[in-house]
Structure 1
Amino acid sequence: MVDTQYLPDRIYMLKHLKSLTLESCWDIEQLPKSICRLECLEELYVISCTSLRDIPNNICTMKCLKCLHLTYCCQVEKLPQELGCLECLEELHLSECESLRDIPKSICKMKCLKRIRLSYCDKVERLPEELGCLECLKELNIEGAGISRLPLSIFQFKGLRIIGSREQLQSYGFPSVTEIYRGSTSSCYAEL
């Protein structure tokens, strides 16, 4: 746990760092702009940083980043518009980011993106129409998200698993859903 509002700007000195986890750093309001200088960083986990408001735009220059997890970051309202420049990103997890309002269209440029998790991002009401351009996408978790309809381009996928509640998936027109059990809770999925 960090007892400060800011991470040190000198974090960039950790040139060979591959994974960074910030968990329960309740006072951190923003990530340092120097975080983009972590040239070897492949995984960035930001979990339960409840005061975090800002994701710096220059995070989009991190060429090695494969996993970006923002979970329970309830003050984050938007993502950088050029997020799609993260050309190696495979996993984008934004679960329980209850203030997040939209997903930038630029994510449709991510050629390696395999998983998108938007579970319980209830203010996210739509996905970019060009989502069908994500050739590698295998899993889309929208359980509890505020998405009222799926982009038509998504139906061109083969093998895409869409996770949500039974009611949610049926409202999108999936007549057949399969239940998934996770401990004491269950979700459903439909497969294209």
Structure 2
Amino acid sequence: MDLISIQSFDALPHNLRECLLDMASFLEVQRIIASTIIDLWSELYGNESSLCMNYLQELASHNLLQLLPLGRNDCDNGFYNELMVKQDNFLREFAINQCQTEPIFERKRLNLEIQENKFPNWCLNPEHPIFINASLLSISTDDSFSSGWGEMYCPNAEALVLNISSSNYALPNFIATMEKLKVVIIINHGLDPANVTNLSCLSSLPNLKRIRFEKVSINLLDIPYLQLMSLEKLSLWLCHVVETDNETEVDVSETLQSLQEIEIDYCYNLVDLPYWIYQVVSLKKLSVTNCNMLCRVLEAICDLRNLEVLRLSDCTSLIELPETIDKLSNLRFLDVSGGFQLKKLPLEIGNLQKLETISMKDCYRCELPDSVKHLENLEVKCDEETAFLWKRLKRKMKNLTITAEETEHNLNLLQLF
């Protein structure tokens, strides 16, 4: 680290110093989706996602990390998957060294790195479980790891980051004892999606609010059976979704009673959403983005009466939206950008009196029904061609705002694959 960077770190407010040290939990030479870090900080520090985003921007302003936009760089309504974070390896090493100034078992942050199944000496205590005091635990394993875990006791762990590389990975059983655990982030750095097993160790954790899977193979039908009573947000990024029967035998309103947000991004083989998602009556945000094989949304979406944000952007096989969307009386934000095959908006979309924003860039083939004229104070975000469709209605609509932007192609996305 150069002198200027060290001075920048020392001059930071306490909360930003803490955030920078948390970055040591992620691997070097990696670009991290901003949502991943924001999920971590939201639970560690109890802050709103927008404030955590401010932390990232402030660290970037001090040249302590870089923010690189992807695609549309759209951060509306707390969606930060269109932004990635790059940290300097030297800064990461500095953060690790700072964390290592305390004795291993007393550290607030603990990074456990396992290469070729060789655990650090302090882990090798077969007589008694290892007691770890850390609130943030990061475990990194290479592609030869065989998931042979010893006993660990982590009663104060609030956040767990698993950096994996092997094609098959069993979650450690000791996760089941982490009663204070709030957020679990599983990031696969291997070439292909990893098969992650032993998800049952996440069951019934009383404080687990967020789970994020990145580049893993997962059966979405397993989720309702995990009894995740406190789960508020579920995220999948670049995951392979295992195709199975679409029915569940559990009462999702009970087993996922706190779930408010689902993000599914770049899951290329996703054709249909599992039916249980339409039964999560507590859901407020549903984002299904960059899923090119998603061909439909079921009419059962009308049961999500608390839904405020529906994002179906860059789902290029989506031809139409279900007519029952007009029953979503609390919907504020609708995003269908990138749906260039979208033929029309629902006939009675004008019934959505709380709708504030429609984002529909590259939807120039989409037919607008007459009922849209009943939408007041609406903001439409789109491209120039799609804007032409709305401009014809401007005189008939009260306080219509049209924001037209050119389509951008960002090469930063290629660096993630």
Fold conserved between structures, TM > 0.5: yes
1:24 equivalent in structure 2:
238
CA deviation profile, 1:56-108 (whole Å, cap 9, x unmatched):
23322211100000001111111111111100000000011111121001110
Deviation at 1:159?
0.7
AA paired with 1:101? Answer: I
Deviation at 1:11?
4.6
> How large is the Cα RMSD of the aligned pairs?
2.8
Work out which of the residue numbers 76, 100, 110 in structure 1 matches 2:294: 76
- Higher gyration radius (CA): 2
**Does the 8 A contact of 2:231 with 2:256 survive in 1?**
yes
- 2:353 aligned with 1:135: yes
Provide the rounded CA distance (Å) in 1 between the counterparts of 2:405 and 2:301.
Answer: 31
Deviation at 1:147?
3.8
Deviation at 1:27?
4.6
**Does the 8 A contact of 2:363 with 2:386 survive in 1?**
no
Work out which of the residue numbers 321, 336, 342 in structure 2 matches 1:124: 342
AA paired with 2:240? Answer: W
| Alpha-carbon spacing, 1:111–1:174, altered in 2? closer, same or farther (3 Å) | closer
CA deviation profile, 1:93-145 (whole Å, cap 9, x unmatched):
00111111210011100110000000001221101110000010000111112
| Alpha-carbon spacing, 1:120–1:67, altered in 2? closer, same or farther (3 Å) | same
**Does the 8 A contact of 1:102 with 1:124 survive in 2?**
yes
Residues 33-182 of structure 1 mapped to structure 2, 5 A cutoff: 33-34=247-248, 36=252, 37-145=255-363, 147-172=365-390, 173=392, 177-179=402-404
**Does the 8 A contact of 2:299 with 2:323 survive in 1?**
yes
Structure 2 regions of 5+ residues with no counterpart? 1-187, 189-193, 196-216, 395-400, 411-417
AA paired with 2:230? Answer: H
**Does the 8 A contact of 1:30 with 1:55 survive in 2?**
no
AA paired with 2:286? Answer: L
| Alpha-carbon spacing, 1:7–1:152, altered in 2? closer, same or farther (3 Å) | closer
Secondary structure in 2 matching 1:155: helix
Structure 1 regions of 5+ residues with no counterpart? 186-192
Deviation at 1:14?
1.1
| TM-score, normalised by the number of residues in structure 2 | 0.41
**Does the 8 A contact of 1:30 with 1:52 survive in 2?**
no
**Does the 8 A contact of 2:230 with 2:257 survive in 1?**
yes
Secondary structure in 2 matching 1:127: coil
- 2:227 aligned with 1:9: no
Secondary structure in 2 matching 1:97: coil
More helix by share: 2
Relative to structure 2, which stretch is displaced further, 129-138 or 145-154? Answer: 145-154
Secondary structure in 1 matching 2:299: coil
Relative to structure 2, which stretch is displaced further, 85-94 or 22-31? Answer: 22-31
**Identity over aligned residues, as a percent?**
26
AA paired with 2:222? Answer: D
Provide the rounded CA distance (Å) in 2 between the counterparts of 1:105 and 1:27.
Answer: 27
Secondary structure in 2 matching 1:82: helix
Q: May I ask how many residue pairs the two structures share in their alignment?
A: 185
